[in-house]
Amino acid sequence: MANDDERIALFLDYENLAIGARDGLGVSPFDFGPVADALAERGRVVARRAYADWSYFEADRRLLAKANVELIEIPQRIGGSRKNAADIKMAVDAIELAYERGFVTTFAIGTGDSDFTPLVQKLRELDKRVIGIGVQSSTSALLPPACDEFLFYDRLIGEPAVSRPRRGRRRAPDAKADPEPKTDPKADIKPDLPAEEPAGPAEEPAGPAEDGDVGQLVVRTLTGLQRLTDGPVLASRLKRAVLRKDPTFDEADHGFRAFGELLRNLESQRVVQLRPGSAQGDPEVSFPEDESADHDAFELLVEVVGELQGPDASPQLSGLKNQLRKRAPEFSEKRYGFNSFLSFAKAARARDLITMKWDEDADDYLLRVTKPG
């Protein structure tokens, strides 16, 4: 239903985005189309505002005007330092809109500057969902975790989301927080303004999770959701929770066209189990109920404990997981729905497979097999 759509207000720190795209991706002028498309997939954009000194962006302003973006003029050549004038104006306007337009559910903030982190946090305090948008090479590592979701512009235009050099703007790790302003008279954008510093001193660019981590991320998130609810976990809810843990998550980075395709791949590996949900295309996600997988895991634990124990010696819980991984490198208790290795061991004790005794001297649990082979 239309009333269920997210109503999005878009605010663009345009100088940050344009310079980041130019220096990090070689894109000039900035192509707004991919941003508009990504937001259209998520809801109705009810406000579009971009902040800059538009005398430096003649080509860009024409393209944005065609896209129905309201251009907020922040002049830079009127004397004095106005380096943060656009940032301040944008933050004030966003908070004002949050109070005056209660129907706005989501704020999309286009910037990579960590200075906007307090704005993001305040909007979330006001129960607004926040989507960040930035160029990866010029996005502070502090900003994406503050958002509910973060879209790298690199992905939106089809570029691989990898760290890129900042072409003459990267500072040494021990650089001062406030270096002397730099100017580039040959640059096409803002030739006589200080170079943009979106990432702050000594910050690493944010990046996506490694391919090998995606299954672990889904399993950890599903484990947590199952602990918090008695009902089924739908795929849509699972993805929202994954995005809350990693706002930069994008299944396309791992070779999948949709989140459902990723879940079907994990199902084929017997990591998760899918059942039809209440709505078409939104299946229920759970862990496989086949006891054979659990049996193999517990059997591995019993074998390792049995080999390590002696007549007067019992292996400690600490370090035992590494012993299991020497036998089965892919072992993870989370794959079987346990939040920690201790929970996994206690489940084995509940099945009367091992005993666990707390030892004060060792300050750890000592394990023994209940029925040595």
Q: Decide which of 156, 191, 223 is a domain's last residue.
A: 156
Select from 156, 191, 220 the last residue of a domain.
Answer: 156
Contacts of 261 (CB under 8 A, 6+ apart): 251
Considering the domain boundaries, does residue 168 fall inside one?
no
Tell me, what CATH number does 245's domain have? 1.10.10
Same domain, 242 and 151: no
Determine, yes or no, domain membership for 310. yes
Contact between 368 and 314 (Cβ < 8 Å)? yes
Q: Does residue 163 sit within a domain?
A: no
Q: Do 124 and 261 fall into the same domain?
A: no
* Helix-then-strand count for the chain, H and E: 12, 11
Query: What is the phi/psi pair of residue 355, to 5°?
Result: -115, 150
Asked whether residue 141 falls in the same domain as residue 25, the answer is yes
**Run of H or E including 227:** helix 214-228
Least confident of 144-158, 234-248, 283-297: 283-297
Give me the number of domains the chain comprises.
3
DSSP for residue 145: G
Distance CA 108, CA 98 (A): 12
Please give the C-alpha separations between residue 32 and each of 14, 36, 205, in angstroms, as whole numbers. 10, 6, 22
**pLDDT at residue 79, as a whole number:** 56
272 with 349, same domain?
A: no
Closest CA to 70 of 97, 43, 100: 97
Which candidate, 109, 291, 77, 238, places its Cα nearest to that of 85?
A: 77
Q: What is the DSSP string of 333-354?
A: GGGGT-SSHHHHHHHHHHTTSE
329: domain CATH number is: 3.30.420.610
pLDDT band at 37 (very low <50, low <70, confident <90, very high): confident
Same domain membership, residue 215 and residue 126: no
Does 13 lie in the same domain as 70? yes
In a domain, 106, yes or no: yes
Comparison of pLDDT for 177 and 36, the residue scoring more: 36
Tell me if the pTM is above 0.85.
no
What is the pairing mode between strands 70-73 and 43-52? parallel
Query: Is residue 301 in a domain?
Result: yes
272 shares its domain with 299: no
Q: Is residue 103 part of a domain?
A: yes
Same domain, 27 and 145: yes
Residue 176 lies in a domain: no
Q: Is the pLDDT of residue 304 over 90?
A: yes
Average model confidence (pLDDT) across the chain: 82
Q: Is 30 within the bounds of a domain?
A: yes
Residues with Cβ within 8 Å of residue 243, at least 6 apart in sequence: 148, 149, 249
Chain centroid, CA 2 distance in Å: 27
Measured between alpha carbons, how far is 74 from 82 in angstroms, rounded to an integer? Answer: 9
317 and 224 share one domain: no
Which residue range is the domain that position 247 belongs to? 211-286
* Whether residue 90 is found in the same domain as residue 33: yes
Task: Tell me: do 151 and 91 sit in the same domain.
Answer: yes
Strand partners, 48: 10
- pLDDT tens, position by position, 240-257: 888 888 888 989 888 889
Looking at per-residue pLDDT, the higher value among 294 and 90 belongs to: 90
Greater confidence (125 vs 185) lies with: 125
Among residues 286, 317, 338, the one where a domain terminates is: 286
String of DSSP letters for 22-80:
HHHH---S---HHHHHHHHTTEEEEEEEEEE-GGG-HHHHHHHHHTTPEEEE--S-SSS
Two structure tokens written together for 154? 């690199």
For residue range 95-113, list pLDDT tens digits in order.
999 999 999 999 999 999 9
Q: For residue 127, give the CATH number of its domain.
A: 3.40.50.1010
Same structural domain for residues 319 and 350?
yes
